[in-house]
Chain A
């Protein structure tokens, strides 16, 4: 408090505590701020409405069961076939192999940072992981197509195993490793948060019983942080499923109902990205098919996001 306001307050008559007017300005400001918050709900509503209209139009032409259970995705053929499982398989292919890479690497990094690293090492490594998280996916896609595929996968692939890997311009595994690299920071940072939130008393209790450091990390901290760890993995899968640029550049655009890592595949996102460019005509079946695939993608990622949000809330409730 400075002297001036102190003196002024002391000299005046006692003030009434009610506001002199009803303060409409405050209400207007609160209304405007609430509007900003409501805009997010509006965005979701707009997304849902954008998807629903053309999707219904799509199902007036293509039977739902052909779409949901068909395994041929050939929109450009005559007659076209819209079996979404072909592109769903492409998405799962990339996500599956990407997670097989990213989960061990991300969790290993998280356990090391939370349980083993000195504070100084943690302070250096975490920003570097944040940098990795900030690399645009188009750069990772180029890296996957021009380095991971020819310089890492092809030399390491065991000969003619599953039909060989040499000479292929696109491969699900290349995109998967790129996507894996993209989600490692997500898994590492959320899991590390969850493990750091485990109270030290649990660790000390285990040490007092004679547990080794590894036993403490795997037997006490890991299970105690499990909901956060699972949440990070679910979120990472959701990111992998929704990634577009890496798969466009490295996985190709051949719909292929397979989970083999050395095949070229088309994911749901890649189909949308390739098909829905500026010159597509609004009413065409191709245009509507983009929205039908978008609906499947949206529902899949929404479900995973909800699970992940629930799980994160659970570990926060337990320890914070």
Chain B
């Protein structure tokens, strides 16, 4: 400003002040109704968030209050009982859940990552079968878990695979249930690796697999690991499909992977305690929920931390 001396700059100052005053006069005093309406609307929106958060807080405090009396090391060492709630625990259920999860990890990591690599790095999207796989995975991610239970019952426990009501059947059922989670997360992680890295590797004479194996996968590992943790935590809390594939209730021994004697899992055991009316069993169920939530929260926080810590901006 002030190119041609004092007078024009003074004029510009006056003009802009005038414009500002006009704008303030027209828009500054919003109608009272608008102001009130806006405040009420913002308040309602905030209320929605508060309701959701209050639900979460109430759920956690309820579990703590009701489960506190039953919370002790006995939960981890004692076997379940229908007669003596004060001596009952979760030992076989916890061991069963750990074994189920072990099987799930062994299955979903290679298969889930393999499928994600195929869809992102190899699949030609103009081919109908690759589009079919893609839509199919999105669909599978939203199929109700009890339907996977039916699949496990008719296809894995009986039917074609016919392996019986063993822990491995439950593990395979859960693995199929959470597989789409791993594939979808894996694909996003792989897609986030910029193309220039692939092209650089290919230009140096690496084959496609060498490129994937040495450049793309290492860069995508944090995202893939986050997806795997989220999938495992979902499998850990899932009870419905296990009801159908033989997670029987009161197993009083440590279950093994292929034994036909039956097995149990933490969420199923919690469900069974919760359906009993006595106060002591309700407390046991709540204590089991605390144990499960502590493990899950630890896993989920680790996944969120992992994602924020290693998320690369290219």
Contact = CB atoms under 8 A, between A and B. Distances in A.
B135 interface: yes
Contacts of A238: 142, 144
Majority secondary structure of chain A interface residues (helix, strand, loop or mixed): helix
Majority secondary structure of chain B interface residues (helix, strand, loop or mixed): helix
Given A40-B140, A146-B62, A109 B119 contact: no
Contacts of B45: 108-109, 111-112, 116
Nearest to B230: A134
A316 to B, nearest CB: 12
Contact of B154 (A26, A54, A116): A54
A242 B144 contact: yes
B196 interface: no
A16 to B, nearest CB: 11
A27 to B, nearest CB: 10
Interface stretch (B5-13, B78-86, B98-106, B241-249): B241-249
B46 A112 contact: yes
A100 B132 CA distance: 34
B42 A44 contact: no
A30 interface: yes
B306 interface: no
Contacts of B304: 127, 130
A235 interface: yes
A43 interface: yes
Contact of A135 (B38, B59, B208): B59
Nearest to A134: B300
Interface stretch (B14-22, B69-77, B175-183): B175-183
A279 to B, nearest CB: 9
Interface in A135-191: 135-143, 145-147, 181, 184-185, 188
Contacts, number: 275
The residue among A218, A241, A243, A245 with the most chain B CB atoms within 10 A of its own CB is A245
B49 A309 contact: no
The residue among B145, B179, B180 with the most chain A CB atoms within 10 A of its own CB is B145
A86 interface: no
A272 interface: yes
B293 A305 contact: no
A202 interface: no
The size bracket of the interface on A is 35 or more
B67 to A, nearest CB: 10
Interface residues of B, number: 95
B239 A33 contact: no
A302 B136 CA distance: 10
A218 to B, nearest CB: 8
Interface string B37-59: 11001101111110111011011
Contact of A40 (B27, B48, B136, B165): B136
A62 B147 CA distance: 22
B271 A248 contact: yes
Given A37-B118, A278-B165, A138 B146 contact: no
B133 A40 contact: yes
A145 B271 CA distance: 12
B238 A33 contact: no
B68 interface: no
B274 interface: yes
A301 B143 contact: yes
A82 to B, nearest CB: 17
Nearest to A249: B274
B151 A50 contact: yes
A132 B300 contact: no
A284 interface: no
B143 A47 contact: yes
Interface string B126-142: 00001011011111101
Contacts of A277: 243-244
A39 interface: yes
A276 B149 contact: yes
B63 interface: yes
Given A147-B59, A308-B142, 11 more contacts: A40-B137, A46-B160, A50-B150, A50-B154, A51-B150, A112-B42, A131-B56, A139-B292, A181-B52, A212-B38, A277-B244
Interface of A: 15, 19, 23, 25-26, 29-30, 32-41, 43-44, 46-47, 49-51, 53-54, 104-109, 111-113, 116, 125, 127-132, 134-143, 145-147, 181, 184-185, 188, 210, 212-214, 217-218, 235, 238-239, 241-245, 248-249, 269, 272-273, 276-278, 282, 290-291, 294, 297-298, 301-302, 304-306, 308-309
20 contacts: A32-B114, A35-B114, A36-B110, A37-B115, A40-B133, A40-B137, A43-B176, A112-B42, A116-B46, A129-B52, A134-B237, A136-B237, A138-B270, A142-B270, A143-B58, A242-B146, A245-B240, A278-B246, A297-B146, A308-B142
